[in-house]
Structure 1
Amino acid sequence: MGKQQDVGQADRHSETGTTDHRPIGGSADARLALAQDPGTPQMTLIDLASDPSAVVRKTVAARPDAPAQALRPLTRDHDRQVREAVARNPSASLANLMRLVKDADRWVRWAVAGNPACDESIRRVMSEASDKELRGLLAESRQLEPELAAKLTDDASPEVRERLATHTHDPDVITALLADRTARVRKGLARNPRTTAAQRSALAADPVVDVRAALVRVVELDEADLDRLVDDRSVQVRLAMATSEVVPPHIRQKLTGDPDEVVATAARDFRPGAGTASAVRAPRIGHRPSAAGQGRRSSGR
């Protein structure tokens, strides 16, 4: 992670040897070019942090080499995209991130979740937030401390527990969530490749169809589990097996004689590499969907 620098005086330009602090003037495009220029001195970046143009301020906010004196006021900028840029900046200080993780705008808060500069103190605040999506993003974090992961196993939101179940590497958390009474949480575990063979056998016998179907799509199972599932009472489970990339060919061959013609046809027509399912979805980082849609979205709490 880059370090923010407190700038007490103007530096000297490394290439020209002239005084670095350039006067700022001209058009917004000219000031934007200055904000984008890697050679722009830090004292100038500090001045540009208060530029009338939000685009210029956002550009400064996104620079990993921006000094602390530039980023600090931008965490309170009236334009949420400027604050969001600071929230994503890997050089943002912990104090700035702590302020932004409590921001009134959800997109700003969610951006903090994807910042590699986050430490346990930031993640602890996230775990206690009323924002369900923020807790869900935390649940998907690979850096999640065991104490916080254990806390999320009792989260009030089934979605948060499901996302934890899908992404966790913690064996104790997996064991705890295996007993979760909400089917979508166990379905999350069924997509987690870090379960043990015994845990997969338990999931293969889950009373909920969606859990069994999710399991056969993405994780390899023992032969005994496969033999049982090939005769599963649910067409949905057998169809998932017929189209799964991880089901062995000899098991799929059995499904070519399935009493349900859709399953049998799917097994006969299966071609390796045609599927798109993955064991674990990439964690959601909270990016805005599109520039066009941003203007139509209001900030949320």
Structure 2
Amino acid sequence: MTPIPSPPAYRGRFAPSPTGPLHAGSLATAVGSYLEARSRQGEWLVRMEDLDPSRTRPAAATRILGVLERFGMQWDGEVLHQSRRSEAYRAALALLEGRGMVYPCTCSRREIAHSSITGVDGPIYPGTCRDHRVDTSRAHAMRVRTDNAVVEIVDGICGVIRQRLKHDVGDFVLRRADGVFTYQLAVVVDDAEQGVTHVVRGSDLLASTPRQIHLQHLLGYPTPAYMHLPLVVNVHGEKLGKQTHAPPLDPSDPVPWLIEALHFLGQQPPAGLAESGLTAIWEWATRNWKPGSIPSRCPHASHARHA
């Protein structure tokens, strides 16, 4: 496996999935992660989370990068594409397999749904294949073993979150039966190998963070600091996204979108700032960035267990 680099004082990242154009919700996440990094004189990376070829749109990644540039966001280093990193994920999975921490599973989603209860993020796997030999000549997923030790994080916005993975989630999938590696494994390997020290992302991913910490411990990786931003929702309270037909950003007129994102994140740009242009807006926002003013709209305890 690739040696894990010594991290800088602050290295953050923005990791969109190129399934469609950026919208107001993804802009808020990008702006929050960018300002948190730049206000600390840190680095800001961009990563394309394009693991699933059935969901990825070939031109979306290029368009996303173009929009970030038009909005005045400059990233450090090369853009990493998860679709090109199968060897790194395979090596991590092999390491876990050698330590007896993963096992093959031939259960279908329907079987799991019929034989399990609902946890913090969907059905809890009942452990059907955990201690049984399965026919690996059939298509099979690979699951990681969990236990009931408390996994705790202190989130920069949501505070202390605790989960018992076996009870709240169950043994979760690292490689699907179709051979596609899952987000949980890929994000842990990528954050470690890129030396990411701080993760700023949407609160929809808060409930999955204990799973990532579990994998970090198993693989011997450091755990970054986490900050989960509030989600932008539509009039129905639904997260903005492709499924909810969120309107795309207009890169030809970025200033109103950027000012709106700053307001959403609890910052208070002066009334005349919108007339000053992008450079001045970013200078003001970086100099006056106050993460303590970001609204705390964390998931209900049914999705993430608060202390």
TM-score by length of 2: 0.21
**Structure in which a larger fraction of residues adopt strand:** 2
Larger radius of gyration: 1
**Structure in which a larger fraction of residues adopt helix:** 1
1 or 2 for the larger relative contact order (CA 8 Å, sep ≥6)?
2
